[in-house]
Amino acid sequence: MADAPLPRPKAYGYALLTLLAPGLGHWSLGRRGRAGAFFAIVGATFAAGLLFDGALFSPASDNWLFRLGAVAQMGLGLPYALGRLLGLGPLESARVTGVMFGYGNTFLVAAGLMNMLLAMDVYDIAVGRKP
């Protein structure tokens, strides 16, 4: 499907699909195997982050480092928004002082950054820049 280069607005649309679920953009372009692998890897990174007591930061946080973390985590798109709505990974003192807090945040931030890379990858495939 993505063999013929798509016009740029359409490519942006496919890239934005990645923000609904990791791998959805690849799935829509017919790269089903990769889409499943990306969904599993980014999903596992996100789940491990929450399991390791990481926090889903608010972009309106007082701490600039937390705001920066929120920008990276927002790269996850819908999973980040749902997590925030459901109250997953709350920023509470027991969690912040825990041994695993830093590790959990590293996983969550990395998951968001991975998904941003996936969106760029989908765009490159869609416009024919990547085979």
If you compute the radius of gyration of the chain from its CA atoms, what whole number of angstroms results?
16
Selected range binding other proteins among 2-10, 62-70, 84-92, 95-103, rule: CB under 8 A: 95-103
Number of residues that bind other proteins (CB under 8 A): 22
Residue in 45, 77, 79, 108 binding other proteins, rule: CB under 8 A: 45
At 42 the three-state DSSP class reads helix
Residues 98, 90: Cα–Cα separation, whole Å: 13
What element of type H or E holds 102?
Answer: helix 101-126
Residue in 27, 52, 57, 123 binding other proteins, rule: CB under 8 A: 52
Residue in 48, 68, 71, 88 binding other proteins, rule: CB under 8 A: 48
Residue with tokens 């017919």: 30
- Minimum separation from the CB atom of position 38 to other proteins (A): 7
The helix, strand and coil proportions of the chain, stated in percent and rounded to the nearest 5, come to 65, 0, 35
Residues 71, 79: Cα–Cα separation, whole Å: 14
Instruction: Note whether 94 binds other proteins by CB under 8 A.
Output: no
- Do residues 67 and 57 lie in contact, with contact meaning Cβ atoms separated by under 8 Å? yes
Selected range binding other proteins among 60-68, 75-83, 85-93, 107-115, rule: CB under 8 A: 107-115
Q: Among residues 37 and 78, whose Cβ is nearest to other proteins?
A: 37
Residues that bind other proteins (CB under 8 A): 34, 37-38, 41-42, 44-45, 48, 51-53, 98-100, 103, 106-107, 110, 114, 117-118, 121
